[in-house]
Chain A
Amino acid sequence: MEKVKAGICAFFMAIGGFFKRFGEAVVKGDLFVKLSLIWVGAGYARRKQFIKSIIATIFEVVVLIYSIGFAPKYVSKFGSLGTVKQESVFNIVTMKNEFNDYDHSFLILLISLISFVIWIVAAVAYLHNVIAVYELQKKAQAGEHINSFVEDVKELFNHKFHVTLLFLPVAGIVIFTIIPLLVMILVSFTNYDQKHMPPSALFTWNGFDNYINLFGGGGLTITFGYAFVRILAWTLVWAFFATLTTYIGGILMSLLLNNKKTICKKLWRTLFIVTIAVPQFVSLMLVRNFFADSGIVNTICANIGLTGWLRDMGLIGTSFIPFLSAPGWAHVMIILINIWIGVPYQMLIATGVLMNIPEEQLESARIDGATPRQIFWKITMPYMLFVTGPSLVTDFVKNINNFNVIFLLTEGVYVTTNQLMANSQAKETDLLVTWLFRLTQDYYNYKMASAIGMVVFVICAVFTLIAFNRMIKGDREETFR
């Protein structure tokens, strides 16, 4: 926690320092520094950095044209997300039906957001520019060498190489992660769904309505609250068992394989790896048909009389075992199948960790007369937990978002019979993410999907922060070195 506080403090201090330097530059700068408040290329031109001056000017012009000529059309409607509905109007000149000049709510949202990002970046660049120009002035006054353009470019491959390296990756992250994330946050506060699909219809802000619906408010006809609680509970149960079973299974399997008694360790390990090297969409789809209602396993079970026995016991009411098509059965099967697919991964990791256990520790324990069991519980397990603790946390989060296993195993196979779940397009076996996926792909219910996405993010973030804080508390870094 202290670290976080210090980080936040440092962040605001840095921003303060930035503005202070800007103020200083404006006050103490010469005419050209002050002129660069209006014409950003001025300072560079004064120091004979003409190419830089031209580039800066071009940027300024482009941003100004964008902000005056293009952005206002959309940003001005950001408050209402558009008022003019799409209509087909007969045009007398062209003798055709044409659309009126309608508002596209999503474009308004997206372009407004992009404009905000551009303006923030431009503002920072603008302030930074004034500071840079003032630095140039100071250099000139001290009689120091001022870089030519070629020298500036060379710097980008030398001391400022990190700028070159980071520019494209960061731009990619901003466009494909940060902006989508912000769009999603905004959409979760609108009524964007099938009835409000641009371009033919408009959508608008609706405050916290989606979240209220999700958390059980919003009246009796809306069952999102019920479905949300059910699915959230299953998501957490699933993530807990999926993480725990594969973790323990991985350790056990790795101990088994790395035992002295094992003949040709490499061969066995490769055999287990084959199961995870097959892409999940192949192996999971295959297993799904393996356990289908009329699949091969059911045939075998019927032949050996297991199906009949279960029916006599009253455990099933059908002529087959509903491995993946009835609640309860499906939940258990999903976790079991996940063991099949997840244990080899954990086995690989556990093998790597076990091989790194300091041999002297094991040796001294043996000399002191510790039994293998004691060694396992007192040395191997603590070491294991210490090294893989962080990845255990990330595994849990990954399992909360484990789309593949649930979707590939149950989509199209599992049909819910619970009317309340069906009303909100949910199934008992859904995780929050598969529910979100179905809401967007099949039902175009973007508002609820975004709200669910936000909830998933908050759950993951809170869990991770708490877990990491606990784990890092008390510096244990040196314990095993």
Chain B
Amino acid sequence: MKKKTISVITHNLLIAFLAIFWLIPIIWLLVTSFSTYPGMNTSTFFPENWGVDAYKNLLFSADSVAQFPNWFKNTFIIACFSCVISSMFVLMVAYATSCMRFAMRKPLMNVAVILNLFPGFLSMIAVYFILKTLGLTNNHWGLVLVYSASSGLGYLIAKGFLDTVPASLREAAYIDGATEFQVVWKVVMPMSRPIIVYTVINSFLAPWMDFVFAKIILNAGISDQWTVAIGLYNMLERSLINTYFTQFCAGGVLVSIPISVLFVIMQKFYVEGITGGAVKG
């Protein structure tokens, strides 16, 4: 019995050790954000003087470099719009390919497989020029379009879920004289709440997590137009890092809190989505 207790303790100690190891940078982020020293503290792990100056400066005294409230607002607006559009697109494509049967279904799905092989990132140069021709660079609408326009390609996880909704339910509704639109609205959607939550959170998070597209589209250097990602990235430029590092940490903490909450909610759908899709093949 005693031997077993020891093995349980060592086992949990091992996990605790790993967890601490994994959390060291995050803890560093947290404690540094409460430092009163504006630059990077390189001599000790914990700050020497504690205070909330960084948060105060970040939230209430915006300057030409740090415009966190603006960035947060920009990102939030972009995220809301692209979330609405891309969730709709994903669910529309998923329903059409999963529940309806039409001649072009298979060819379209095959084309989607090939297009998915091509990382969206690579066509960025051309997208940039198209947006520039349309006058949509350095413009939040351009960014919304970039995030949401081709989101239909990411329909596979949602389709995998809709495939599990029994066809008999829909057939019963058809027999009762329901149109396809009514079937979607009254039968399938109410049953698909988990996948809707997953899709919505996923497309809401994309603009918060993204760095590349925002950097390419909003390249004019007007800091109050930026998203959180480029704003915080810019704070760590070589000439700025010594005055803004603590504010960067504070900003990082402030962004991470809402995102972490959403991420933890989404996490169980995430696993179901990936493994579920794979099992069905």
Where the two chains meet, the residues of A that have a C-beta atom closer than 8 Å to any C-beta of B are 7, 11, 14, 106-107, 110, 154, 157-159, 161-162, 165-166, 168-170, 172-173, 175-181, 183-184, 187, 253, 256-257, 259, 261-263, 268, 270-283, 285-287, 289-290, 292, 294-296, 298-300, 340, 344, 348-349, 351-353, 356, 387-391, 397, 401, 403-404, 407-408, 412, 433, 436-437, 440-441, 446, 449-450, 453, 456-457, 460-461, 464, 477
Contact = CB atoms under 8 A, between A and B. Distances in A.
B110 A274 contact: no
Nearest to A157: B181
B211 A273 contact: no
Nearest to B16: A268
10 contacts: A7-B110, A161-B96, A165-B93, A176-B146, A183-B123, A184-B125, A280-B211, A282-B256, A404-B211, A407-B212
Interface stretch (B49-57, B64-72, B165-173, B245-253): B245-253
B1 interface: no
B122 A436 contact: yes
B68 to A, nearest CB: 13
A283 B212 CA distance: 16
Given A165-B92, A184-B123, A349 B275 contact: yes
A390 B276 CA distance: 12
Given A262-B11, A279-B209, A290 B133 contact: no
Nearest to A158: B179
Contacts of A110: 129-130, 133
Contacts of A412: 237-238
B125 A403 contact: no
A273 B279 CA distance: 24
Given A7-B110, A281-B233, A403 B212 contact: yes
The 6 closest A-B pairs by CB, nearest first: A169-B152, A352-B271, A180-B126, A180-B123, A172-B149, A277-B260
B19 A272 contact: yes
Contacts, number: 266
B145 interface: yes
Interface centre among A257, A281, A461 (most CB of B within 10 A): A281
B95 interface: yes
Given A272-B22, A278-B26, 17 more contacts: A165-B92, A166-B93, A172-B89, A179-B130, A180-B127, A263-B8, A273-B267, A274-B260, A279-B255, A282-B255, A282-B256, A296-B43, A340-B25, A387-B278, A387-B279, A388-B278, A401-B122
A264 B259 CA distance: 24
A282 B22 contact: no
B76 interface: no
B100 interface: yes
A280 to B, nearest CB: 7
B18 to A, nearest CB: 7
B86 to A, nearest CB: 9
A25 to B, nearest CB: 18
Interface residues of B, number: 92
B252 A177 contact: no
Contact of A172 (B107, B123, B150): B150
Nearest to B271: A352
A257 B125 CA distance: 44
A290 B28 contact: yes
Interface in B148-203: 148-153, 179-181, 184
Interface string B233-273: 10011100100010011001001100110011001001110
A83 B75 CA distance: 43
Nearest to A168: B89
A168 B90 CA distance: 11
Contact of B92 (A166, A183, A292, A477): A166
Given A273-B267, A296-B42, A433 B19 contact: no
B130 A184 contact: no
Given A181-B123, A268-B15, A283-B26, A277 B264 contact: yes
B154 to A, nearest CB: 10
B271 A161 contact: no
Nearest to B129: A106
Interface of B: 7-8, 11-12, 14-15, 18-19, 22-23, 25-26, 28-29, 40-45, 89, 92-93, 95-96, 100, 102, 105, 107-108, 110, 114-115, 117-127, 129-130, 133, 145-146, 148-153, 179-181, 184, 208-209, 211-212, 215-216, 219, 229, 232-233, 236-238, 241, 245, 248-249, 252, 255-256, 259-260, 263-264, 267, 270-272, 274-275, 278-279, 281
B41 A296 contact: yes
Given A7-B110, A290-B25, A277 B236 contact: no
B254 to A, nearest CB: 10
Contacts of A436: 122
A457 to B, nearest CB: 5
A76 B23 CA distance: 61
B15 A262 contact: yes
A277 B23 CA distance: 12
A177 B11 contact: no
Contacts of A349: 271, 274-275
Given A169-B89, A296-B45, A453-B122, A344 B22 contact: yes
Contacts of B96: 161-162, 165-166
Contacts of A278: 26, 29, 252, 256, 259-260
Nearest to A257: B15
Interface centre among A106, A157, A274, A390 (most CB of B within 10 A): A274
